Amino acid sequence: MPKVSHLFFQSGIVFLIVGIGMGLQMSISGVHNVTGAHAHLNLLGWVTSALFGAYYALNPAKAALRLAMIHYGVYTLGVIAMIVGLYFLLQGNTSFEPLVVVGSLVTFAGVLIFAYTVFAPSRTASPARPRPAE
């Protein structure tokens, strides 16, 4: 499995564990004020990261490009910033709103990088041309 795929799956699992923890905390306490952060973390953190990892596993030529690691870094940083900001914003701390905005934009940039990766043609080695007869 390509390194970037493995990283996306590892991060996704961490996001899933934290997301489930948030859900359990809400369920146990009966206070559901961070439902939005919980849902975003599970969807963007776990599901989307796993899909990115699967795509790169199925497309090792694209996974080998430097852009794949840039995608991983940008997207993961964006999700972390957005979720931390959203968690505290939903708890009533409005000073975290700029972090939600920046994190959302960085996450979106990560999605745009992935879209470019998907639509860009694969760069594979050209097949050997037959030599002219001597």
Q: Write out the residue range of the structural domain in which residue 62 sits.
A: 3-118
Q: d(Cα 120, Cα 78) in Å, to the nearest integer?
A: 23
Confidence (pLDDT) at 130? 61
What is the band of 123 on the pLDDT scale with cuts at 50, 70, 90? confident
What is the band of 122 on the pLDDT scale with cuts at 50, 70, 90? confident
Write the pLDDT tens digit of every residue in 2-48.
999 999 999 999 999 999 999 999 999 999 999 999 999 999 999 99
DSSP letter (8 states) at residue 42 = I
What's the domain count of the chain?
1
What is the band of 90 on the pLDDT scale with cuts at 50, 70, 90? very high
pLDDT > 90 in the chain, percent: 90
Residue 96 within any structural domain of the chain: yes
What is the band of 94 on the pLDDT scale with cuts at 50, 70, 90? very high
Residue 125 within any structural domain of the chain: no
